[in-house]
Every structure is written in structure tokens, then in C-alpha cells.
């Protein structure tokens, strides 16, 4: 592990804080796109003899960095949720790829979702509102979850059931 850590340390000195350039329209929060992140990170890793792979194995997504010469590896892994909808699964895979890599490299980035969830004065999600329509679209078409919506809005149990059932 000595060679891997030596080269990873050098690579991390070159990695700049990640810019969150994409906007989640439902939450109006920023996030970093996995492709933009890879474009920034991979050339730096390669210049230090490191390679990143992100396999899906045993219902988990992992980010693994190998030191090419020694074969040493370091990994961050997250178990995927049980989903039957391929679109939602694809969204989860992308999300987990991003966050296992962020965790593995201890990348600097602000936690917009966490900040929003910690606010005590959440608005009530009302049926028929544009926010309701956006929430419904978020669940039905974007792989969103009721839990994610509940972080931003107060939702009655009957409204939660309506959103969940589409």
C-alpha cells in the first residue's frame, strides 16, 4: 500500500476543489457532474501511475484506485438500493459513482442537500402547485424519492401516499 499512498498523496496535491456546475431543478441545489469530475481527476491520477475503475459488483458500486506498477488498491463502496425501475437504478448508480469517488479522494465540496435538510422552516407541499407537479415529475421521471422530497417540504401522509403512487 506504500507505493499507492505515496502517488495518491502527490495526486491529491494537484486536485482542486470540485466546482458544482450542474443544478438540480427540483431542489434548486448544485451538484458536480460525474463526467466533469472524471475529466478533472483522471488525468491527474494517470500522471501518477494510478487508474480509477468504478465497477458494479454484488449490488454495490465502488470506486477503486489502483497503483498500476504495484497492483495496490484502495476502495470506497456503497450498496445500491433495491430498485426494479431501470431509470431509477441508473440514477442511483451515477449518484453512487460520484459519491464513492468524492469519499475516496476526500474531495472538497459543499453539501447542498445536507444544508437544505437541516433547515427547520420547510414549506408545505400543496397539491396542484407547481412544486407539486415538479415533485411528481421528480419521482415518476427522474428517479427521485419521497424521502428526498421530504427533506425539502412538509408533506402530509395522504399527500405522501399520492406522490408515491403517482
Q: What is the pLDDT of residues 114-157, one digit of tens each?
A: 444 444 568 888 888 898 888 888 888 888 888 888 888 888 77
C-alpha separations of 114 from 30, 68, 99, 122, 124 in Å = 12, 36, 14, 13, 19
105 with 127, same domain?
no
* Mean pLDDT within 10-39: 78
Number of domains present in the structure of the chain: 2
Point out the domain boundary residue: 99, 114, 129: 114
For the record, the C-alpha cell of 117 comes out as 435538510
43 with 110, same domain?
yes
66 with 18, same domain?
yes
92 with 41, same domain?
yes
For the four alpha carbons of 149, 133, 162 and 155, in that order, the dihedral sign comes to: positive
What range does the domain containing 80 cover? 2-114
* Mean pLDDT within 45-53: 98
42 with 66, same domain?
yes
147 with 91, same domain?
no
41 with 105, same domain?
yes
143 with 74, same domain?
no
Res 16 pLDDT > 90? no
148 with 86, same domain?
no
Task: Find cell 465540496 and name the residue.
Answer: 109
pLDDT of amino acid 158: 77
Res 166 pLDDT > 60? yes
41 with 93, same domain?
yes
pLDDT of amino acid 109: 61
109 with 130, same domain?
no
pTM across the whole model: 0.63
100 with 134, same domain?
no
Q: Is 156 helix (H, G, I), strand (E, B) or coil?
A: coil
Point out the domain boundary residue: 72, 92, 114: 114
> What tens digit of pLDDT does each residue of 73-126 get?
999 999 999 999 999 999 899 989 999 999 999 987 644 444 444 445 688 888
Amino acid at each position: 500500500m506504500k507505493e499507492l499512498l505515496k502517488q495518491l498523496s502527490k495526486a491529491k496535491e494537484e486536485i482542486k476543489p470540485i466546482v458544482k456546475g450542474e443544478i438540480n431543478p427540483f431542489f434548486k441545489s448544485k451538484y458536480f457532474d460525474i463526467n466533469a469530475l472524471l475529466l478533472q481527476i483522471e488525468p491527474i491520477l494517470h500522471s501518477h501511475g494510478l487508474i480509477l475503475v468504478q465497477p458494479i459488483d454484488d449490488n454495490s458500486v465502488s470506486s477503486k484506485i489502483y497503483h498500476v506498477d504495484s497492483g495496490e488498491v484502495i476502495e470506497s463502496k456503497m450498496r445500491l438500493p433495491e430498485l426494479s425501475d431501470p431509470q431509477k437504478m441508473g440514477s442511483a448508480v451515477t449518484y453512487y459513482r460520484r459519491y464513492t469517488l468524492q469519499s475516496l479522494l476526500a474531495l472538497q465540496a459543499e453539501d447542498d442537500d445536507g444544508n437544505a435538510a437541516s433547515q427547520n422552516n420547510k414549506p408545505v407541499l400543496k397539491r396542484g402547485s407547481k412544486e407539486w407537479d415538479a415533485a411528481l415529475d421528480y419521482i415518476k421521471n427522474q428517479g427521485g424519492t419521497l424521502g428526498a422530497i421530504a427533506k425539502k417540504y412538509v408533506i402530509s401522509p395522504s399527500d405522501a401516499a399520492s406522490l408515491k403512487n403517482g
